[in-house]
A and B are shown apart, each in its own frame.
Chain A
Amino acid sequence: MVGAPLLTLAGIEKTWPNGTVALRGVDLTVRPGRVHGLLGANGAGKSTLIKILAGAVPASGGSVTWHDRAVRWSTPRAARAAGVATLYQHIPLVPTLSAADNILLEQRGGLRRDARARQRAAEVVAMLGDPFGLDEIVGDLPIGTRQMVAIAQALGGEPELVIMDEPTAALAGHERETVYRTIRQLADAGRAVLFVSHFLDEIIALTDEVTVLRDGRAVLHAETATLDEATIAAAIAGRSVTALTRPDTVRKPGAALLEVRDLRSPGRLTATTLNVCAGEIVGVAGMLGSGRSELLHAIFGADPAARGDVMLAGRRIGLFTDEAVAAGIALVPEDRARQGFVPTMTIAENIALPQRRHLLDHAAEAKAASAAIERLAIKADGPDALVSELSGGNAQKVVLAKWLTPETRVLLLDEPTAGIDIGARIDILRAVRGLADEGLAVLLVSSEFEELLAIADRILVLRDGAVIAEIADPAGLDEAALIQLASGTRTETGIAA
């Protein structure tokens, strides 16, 4: 094969202090001049592995070899000094500083205005195709451009290995193109790239070799040229594929329960009309920025700028969250930590948040919480455990449990399975299917299109704040076709599968 290894991981293990095992012995070799794709489901251990490489957390076992020398980076600074630049999924930039200041955040020396450093930054930015001006304030830039600033920041230190954790997740088509081109340029210049992505087409088109993690182990390592999407998908999913198949029986939804007419919000959502029947699961497919969350928030009355009609069983609901809840509409928001639960409260208290009584009834709350813990298989010490002490998947179950009351008639789910492990994901999807069988109307937003295809009775495709297609029979569709529908840009850029 090509070149001596730049970085070799052997038997890397990681056990978190609470006993959770994230990595169970991962081997990985990164060579200069090659793009190495790293894949895995949520919870497979990708992020942990990246953090170990970046020096953010120590490994519990195994060895890291860098340039034929065993190393043990204890701080991110040490890793960067050695030549490893890491681009995290969320962008750690200072929004109040200019792009140049952010790119040069790491520089040492006394003066803030250093002409040579600025020149270097300008060169990096030029290589990226000048997507932003050096003096623009980062907080004013759109999210995609911010990602480019982060990339420029990573490249500013002349790294030998660039680790990218889903760098394209937030980007529009042409911005993705720039990232792809940059990755190629880096590889051609002899640098190594470790590229983490959920998008199989990206992986196939971009990488030279691929490693797939599952449950903390590397289950597949091969040259990309020898693989196809189906093989990779099977390796990622393992047994999980079977757990998400559509039921054979065709579900029969009842009468229209939720009707939305001309619901719009300036800049977020163009006039949207849709309805969801009792017992029906309507999937909403759309890329980030397509207006999926905005649609759900508008229906729920959480968007003060929204106008239009939301009707529940023929009765008009005011566009305020308290009216929506009183009418029986429930929202499970996308960002559970920021929007879903109150971290200082226990499971029982969080579940009881939407209640509409006046006096507290601790016994009833504890009972409801115990019932929810059992029904959704929440792993917790009991109803009195703090939600902030739970793992992501279990916290999400608590957010869902909040709405498991007889009053709830419409369930709006915004990425209910994002960032949670496969077991919890299937628990949640089963619960959702069960709720629909009980007669709830469900509107489900998900980036995991396979989920939508497996569970939804009907799929709406959203792009740029508007419904652009409706798929009445998801059974006849495959994931790639849905991705192409949801992101028109993708086919045009020529890397669609």
Chain B
Amino acid sequence: MSPKIDWKRHFGLREAGVYYALLILLGILAAIAHARGLPNYLTPQNLGNIAYQASLVGIMGVAMTVMLITGAFDLSVASVAALAAAVLVGLAPQVGFPLAAVAALTTAAAIGLLNGAIVQFVGINAFIVTLGTLTAVRGLVLVLTDGRSLMVERADTLAQMLAFESMRVPLFWPVLAIAVGLFVLGAVRRSALQLASAVILVALALLAGRDVAVAAPVVYLAVFTAIVWAVLRFTVIGRRIYAVGGNAEAARLSGINVHAYKLGAFILSSVAAGFAGILFGCRLGAINPTALQGSELTVIAAAILGGTSLFGGAGSVVKTVVGALLLFTLTNGFNILNLGASYQGLIEGVVVIASAAIYTVGGERRRARRPIVDTAPDAPPITEAGAS
């Protein structure tokens, strides 16, 4: 008995719109490149480049999506990433890369814990708290770096760091392995979707050729996304993350430790930001105090493009990553095709609002089917003063 698939829903604009948008954008850019006689736009190298550029925002976006699903918000990710990078670059020459990386992640986790504890136990809105830490942590970076750029000067440590970030990972065999795995799974579970995606993966791999390779951050992003996706999709923890965001009170009264899940989301978000910061620091072996400034908004924009609800309870990490790819494809396209960088911000903003509009209107149409009630309208019952 295979589950009935609601094709219309799965492939509708609301569910799959962000994939269409990415494909259409790539198509348009390829067409423009072709028309202008520029080299082929859709080369594996260029696509790998886009993924590489999107990887930091993607990693933060995946964690941000989890955060948004639980119904909270984290504006401080870019500052935390910068702090982690500063800690890494500052400590690496003395203690070596691995220890410095651990210190950076620990610092990030501590800030996540602080954010979460203030939000959960003092009860201040997450927007305000993380707006505060956004500023304060950036200030801390300035203090730590004394307002100057830091650099790793020891050659062996620097080499280690550069290798961690810019080593190339060949894709051909891993992708084939994943495709075979998917195929077997699809055959066992008789899922046409899985079989189809396996075939598509094989086709893509063959098309790209055996030499295609991507930078390490892309692989980190893919692995992180896959893990979080699997947790959200297949585990009770994932279900509860959605439940906490969908209705925290109902979750609590179902015996779910809401505090733990919300705190966990803050820590995950900060640790992911810390990891992104480590990658950033490794990219050049250096950090300047204004690094990554403003990218928290790109991260949130990616999540929104992916259809994550700011009210919690809904969202998909894969679509967030596609949202990030979409944003960076725009950037990349504007640069490579020389379309006039002045228009870039304008178009990005319009894309974000348009996508949010599609999700909202689609959502309303879905809600409109709701039978009103068979009885008295469900007026919220009067509760005693101070009880709520």
B379 within 8 A of A: yes
Tell me whether A170 is interfacial, beta carbon within 8 Å: yes
Residues of A within 8 A of B255 (CB): 321-322, 324-326, 354
Does B370 count as interface, using CB distance less than 8 angstroms? Answer: yes
Known: A324-B255, A392-B374. A143 touches B250 (CB 8 A): no
Let me know if A340 and B253 touch, CB within 8 A. yes
Q: Is the CB of B246 within 8 A of A16?
A: no
Q: Tell me the chain B residues, 236-271 only, with Cβ under 8 Å from chain A.
A: 236-240, 242-243, 246-247, 249-257
**A419-B375 Cα distance, complex, nearest whole Å:** 7
Contacts A345-B246, A355-B236, A358-B236; A335 near B376 (Cβ below 8 A): no
Q: Which residues of B contact A491 (CB under 8 A)?
A: none
Q: Is the CB of A288 within 8 A of B242?
A: no
Nearest Cβ in chain B — how far from A493, in angstroms?
Answer: 20
For the complex, is A179 an interface residue (Cβ under 8 Å from B)? no
Interface locus among B168-176, B280-288, B380-388: B380-388
Interface size on B, residues (CB 8 A): 43
Q: Tell me, in angstroms, the Cα distance from A243 to B149 when the chains sit together.
A: 80
**CA distance in complex: A143, B386 (Å):** 9
Are the C-beta atoms of B381 and A47 separated by less than 8 Å?
no
Interface residues of B in 303-327 (CB under 8 A from A): 313-314
Shortest A349–chain B CB gap in Å is: 6
A333 to nearest B CB, angstroms? 5
Are A341 and B250 touching (Cβ within 8 A)?
yes
Q: Considering only CB atoms, which chain B residue lies closest to A395 in the complex?
A: B378
Per the bound structure, the CA–CA distance linking A288 and B372 in Å amounts to: 27
- A338 contacts B380, C-beta separation under 8 Å: yes
Q: Is B155 an interface residue (CB 8 A)?
A: no
Determine which residue in B240, B313, B367, B375 has the highest number of CB atoms from chain A within 10 A of its CB, and name it: B375
> Is A389 part of the contact surface with B, judged by Cβ < 8 Å?
yes
Measured between beta carbons, the chain A residues less than 8 angstroms from B234 are 359-360
Q: Does A471 contact B (CB under 8 A)?
A: no
Selected from A43, A170, A324, A333, the residue in CB contact (under 8 A) with B382 is A170
Contact B247 A389 (CB under 8 A): no
**A418 interface residue (CB < 8 Å to B):** yes
The answer for the CA separation of A360 and B250 in the assembled complex, in Å, is: 19
**Do B242 and A344 have beta carbons less than 8 Å apart?**
yes
- In angstroms, Cα B383 to Cα A45, docked, is 23
Interface string of A386-404 (1 = CB under 8 A from B): 0011111110000000100
Q: CB distance A349 to B375 under 8 Å?
A: no
From A59-67, A87-95, A231-239, give the one contacting chain B. A87-95
CB <8 Å contact, B251 and A342: yes
Interface residues of B in 216-241 (CB under 8 A from A): 233-240
Contact at B371–A42, with CB atoms within 8 Å?
no
In-complex Cβ contact of B377 among A18, A47, A343, A349 (8 A): A47
A263 located at the interface, meaning its Cβ lies under 8 Å from any Cβ of chain B in the complex: no
Q: In the complex the two chains form, is A359's CB within 8 Å of B236's CB?
A: yes
Please, which residue of chain A has its CB at the minimum distance from the CB of B69? A344
What is the CA–CA distance of A80 and B225 in the complex, to the nearest angstrom?
56
Contact A325 B243 (CB under 8 A): no
Q: Which partner residue on chain B sits nearest A291 by CB separation?
A: B384
A392 B378 Cβ-Cβ under 8 A: yes
Contacts of A325 on B, CB cut-off 8 Å? 254-255
Q: What distance in Å separates the Cβ of B220 from its nearest Cβ neighbour in chain A?
A: 25
A90 adjacent to B242 (CB under 8 Å): no
Q: In the docked arrangement, what's the CA distance between A388 and B313, Å?
A: 13
Alpha-carbon distance between A141 and B386 when the two chains are bound, in angstroms = 10
Partner of B256, one of A16, A322, A418: A322
Q: What residues on B are CB-neighbors of A356 within 8 Å?
A: 236
Q: Determine if A442 is an interface residue (Cβ-Cβ < 8 Å).
A: no
A interface SS class: loop
Residues of B within 8 A of A169 (CB): 382
Knowing A333-B253, A338-B247 touch, does A20 contact B371 (C-beta < 8 A)? yes
- Interfacial chain A residues near B367, Cβ < 8 Å: 388
Contact, CB under 8 Å: B377 / A334? no
A242-257 vs B, CB cutoff 8 Å, 1 = contact: the mask equals 0000000000000000
Chain B residues near A448 (CB-CB < 8 A):
none
Check B371–A143 contact: CB distance below 8 A.
no
Q: How far is the CA of A228 from the CA of B384 in the complex (A)?
A: 32
A327's nearest neighbour on chain B, judged by CB, is B255
The answer to whether A321 touches B247 (Cβ under 8 A) is no
Asked, given contacts A326-B255, A349-B239, A358-B237, whether A342 binds B246 with beta carbons under 8 Å apart, the answer is yes
Inter-chain contact B250/A340, CB cutoff 8 Å:
yes
CA A89 – CA B383 in complex, angstroms? 12
- B313 contact from A91, A289, A344, A360, Cβ within 8 A: A344
Interchain CB contact under 8 A, A321 and B252: yes
Known interface pairs A141-B385, A321-B256, A391-B374. Does A343 touch B236 (Cβ–Cβ under 8 Å)?
Answer: no
B235 in contact with A358 (CB, 8 Å)? yes
Q: Known: A353-B243, A360-B234. Is A47-B253 also a contact (CB below 8 A)? A: no
In the complex the two chains form, what is the Cα distance from A51 to B376 in whole Å? 11
Of the A-B pairs whose beta carbons lie under 8 Å apart in the complex, a sample of 16, sorted by A's number, is A20-B371, A20-B373, A20-B374, A47-B376, A324-B255, A338-B247, A341-B250, A342-B243, A360-B234, A389-B370, A390-B371, A392-B373, A392-B378, A394-B374, A418-B381, A424-B375
Given contacts A20-B372, A46-B376, A342-B242, could you give 19 more A-B pairs where the C-beta distance is less than 8 Å? A19-B371, A20-B374, A47-B377, A142-B385, A288-B382, A293-B387, A321-B257, A322-B256, A331-B253, A333-B249, A333-B250, A337-B378, A344-B242, A359-B234, A360-B239, A391-B371, A391-B373, A415-B381, A419-B378
